[in-house]
Structure formats: structure tokens, C-alpha cells
A = this chain, B = another copy of it.
Amino acid sequence: MKSAQTEDTLKENIATVRELLTQRKREEETEDQRSAENQEATKSLFQYQHWLELQAILKPLHIGDIAHILEILPLDDRLTVWQQVNIFRRGDVLLEVSDAVRENLIQSISEEDLLAALNLMDADDLAYIADDIPEDLLKIRQKTLTTEDKNWLRRAMSYEEDSVGFLMSNEMVVIYDNDALKDAAKILRGLEKLPIHNDTLFVVDRRGILRGILSLQNILLNDPNLPVHNIMETDIVYFSPQDDAGEASQAFERYDLVSAPVISDRGKLVGRLTVDVVMDYIRDEATEDVLNMAGISAEEDLFAPILNSARNRALWLLFNLGAAFFISQIIGIFEATITQLVSLAVLMPIVTSVGGNIGNQTAAIIIRGMTLGQINKENTTYLMRKELGVSALNGLVIGSIVGIFSFILYKNIALSIVISVAMLLTLILAALLGLLVPIFLHRIGRDPALGSSVIMTATIDSVGFFIFLGLASIFLVK
């Protein structure tokens, strides 16, 4: 075996890159202390040597590895490494990195550099990252495309980001249904470059209508002189460009697909969807849920500048702050009650804290079910009954514990009953909200996870405090 890029060698490479970067910084610092006259000359010499070393490390690396290294480097180091990537590979690297890192790179590199990378991309790749490219640069690049590629790019850019059309590629191997199996090898040889994940050829008739698929395996196993339509499979999974990418990714999982044809309304073959793109989509979608639940609106670069990160998270923090003010006003209604019985202030966070946890648990279960396409109108009622049952059960147990505990502390049976009842009611409300908030967000066309935790906690807190302090003001104080 010539070489094998395992995790260990990747880790070694990352360590070397890091070392080079630190070394360079240290030397730059030393240089600053030298006399100004020969500083410039030495600096460029040092740099030149480091660049060569860095280039030598990057050269044999897989594009995916270079992208990974860029992902885990702070911003300035990221730019340093990018500049040493071979100019012919930069386009591929730009495609491979995450959205957040791509945005950051495009902002940091010079227009000239970016245009050079764009010029090496085909229409397919351009469409994928078009949203991130400054419009004027995209226009310059478009001018040099063939008419066919221009059309593809225009069409691809018109699809929604979460659609199959946006994710599909125009790289595919097509064979006519009247061809013989042996023609497949000829077609493959005639291609400039073989498409990735090319497990099947797509079979069309003379009008371009999809007729079936032909696996490489079947070509190998059958008489090369047989016509394609005798061997091709016709019971296949295909998509339309308008299909939702999430549903398509579930289909890829269910039917264990590697690639699938995308056809127009009239049955014409228009593109191909491959498992690598689907896998990236699944990863993005699922990790987004984690961020969205916590109240982070967009994908955020781990190493984004402080100001960007702060801005990205501010929206939901401000919402939360507004909610907190509202909650404090609700408590304010009962100021007189609390003054009479200060133990209420001591006990009240117990009610809402456990409530918030129950709400988050329910929401997490529901959001996961939605991501997996398991929730629909028919089973919502069933799920509501179930979640209410779970929280009523947990509410009874937890309410009793809290009642006993508060009795031990304050020897006040009425107070214990009030907090137990408030607890039970709040937990049932929490479960209901955990179910309804994601479903509501989904119905109004939002991501069900986005801010669900913040919205829910705010509602549970305000209602929870109101129930507890309200009951207390009725039954405990005069």
C-alpha cells in the first residue's frame, strides 16, 4: 500500500501545521526586536521557508483533510494555511468547508484570489456556493461559462436551499435504452472525469425521459451485447427538483441509496442526487437542531470573531431578556404576598426549574420525531395524551416530594399543599408547551427547534410563578 490517510496520520499532520504556525509567530516576535534595517529581508526569508514547509504538508493531503484543518484553526491561522493551498485545489477546498467557514474565507481573501478559485469551478459547484459569492464576482465568472452551463447555473440557483434541486448535480453518466451494455464502457472512457459515487448509469430514451437505471454490477455480470433495456432496473427511487431535501435524505436512508436520478414533471432526467451530499445535509440539519433549540439562529463558525458571535446570539438573548422582565412583573404583582410570607420567594424557583426541564425533554422528543418525519396530524392527539400522561405521572411524584420537603422546612401544611398543586399544574403545562411550541413553529413555516427552548422557558416561568404565587395569595395570606 502506497499510503493511507488514517485518522492518526491526519492528527499528525494537524500537529505539524500547528507547530509551523506557532513557530512562525514566535519568529515574527523576535524579528520585531531586531534592528529595523535588515528586518524586512529576514522576515520574508523566514516566511518563504515556512510557506514551503506548509505547502509540502498540504500537497499530499485529501481535499477533505485540508477543509478539516481549516475548520479547526482560528481565523488568522486559517487564512495563512489557505494561502498555501495549491491554487488549483482552492476551489475544491472552498466547496468542502462548512457554510460558516466558507463565508469567513470569502470575506477574508482578496477578490483576485477568490476569482481565481471560482474560475476553476464548474457550473454545478458555482450553484452550490453562489449565495456566498459577492454578486459582481459571480457575474464576471458567469461570462466565461458556456450557454449550457449558464442555463444550469441559473436554474440551480432558482431552487430553494432545502430542495433536491439545490443539492443535485449535473454530473452523471447517461446511456440510451437502445444501446448495448458494452457501450457503457465506451461512454465512461469518453468522459473527461468520472463522476463521484457513480454506482449506476441512468437510462433515458431519445427524448431524454428517464426509463430506468443500470448498475455497474449488472453491466459486469451480463452479456455485453444485450440491449440496455433488457437489463436495466425499472423499479427505482427518483426525485423531483422541488422535493424537500429532508424527505429525500430520509429516502436515501430508507432505501440505502448511493445515487438517485432527479426528473422534471414531464419525466425528463435533469440531475443526480448523491449520498455524499445527502450525508452532509443530514449532519447539518441535525447539528442545527442543537443550536436552534438553544437560541442560535444561524450556523456559527466555532472561531467566528467575537463581535459576529455576539450578534448572532443577541436576538434570542434579547427576546429572553424581554420575557424575563415580563416574568419579573408577574412576580411584582404579588410583592405584598411575598412580604408577608418570604418563604414563597425561597420556594418559587423550584416550581419553574423542574417545569423548564420537563418542557425541554418533551420538546427534544418532539423535535427529533419531526426531523425523522415521524410526526403528522394523525398521531398528534395520541402524542398529546401520552406526553400529558408522562408529565402527570412525574408531576404527582415530584409534587409530593416537594410538598414533603417544604413541610419539613416550614411546618406549614397549607403551604405544602399549595406548592404541590402548583408543581403538578406547572409540569402538565410544561409538557403541553413542549409538544405545542415545536408543532406551532413548524405550522407557521419555521424551524421547529428555533428558539423553542427560550419561548417555552419564558412561558413556563411566567405561568408557573403566577400559579404558585396566585394560589399562595388566595389560600395562605390574609
Contact surface of A with B, Cβ cutoff 8 Å? 1-7, 18, 62, 64-65, 67-68, 71-74, 96, 184-185, 188-189, 194, 196-199, 210-212, 216-217, 219-221, 234-239, 243, 247, 250-256, 258, 275-276, 278-280, 282-283, 286-287, 289-291, 293-296, 300, 302-303, 306-307, 309-310, 313-314, 316-318, 320-321, 323-325, 327-329, 331-332, 335, 338-339, 342-343, 345-350, 352-354, 356-358, 360-361, 363-365, 367-369, 371-376, 378-379, 382-383, 386, 389-390, 393-394, 397-398, 401-402, 405, 409, 449, 453-454, 457-458, 461, 465
Contacts and interface: CB of A to CB of B under 8 A. Distances in A.
A365 B302 contact: yes
A353 B457 contact: yes
Nearest to A96: B254
A455 B71 CA distance: 29
B68 A235 contact: no
B296 A279 contact: no
Contacts of A258: 197, 199, 258, 275
A224 to B, nearest CB: 10
A310 B394 contact: yes
Contact of A72 (B210, B339, B374): B374
Given A255-B62, A350-B328, A279 B282 contact: yes
B4 A307 contact: no
14 contacts: A1-B210, A3-B235, A4-B236, A196-B256, A199-B199, A252-B279, A286-B287, A287-B368, A290-B290, A290-B449, A294-B357, A294-B364, A302-B383, A325-B350
A438 to B, nearest CB: 11
Contacts of A294: 293, 357, 360-361, 363-364
Which secondary structure characterizes the binding site on chain A? helix
A398 B361 contact: no
Nearest to A314: B394
Contacts of A398: 317-318, 321
Contact of A346 (B247, B331, B393): B331
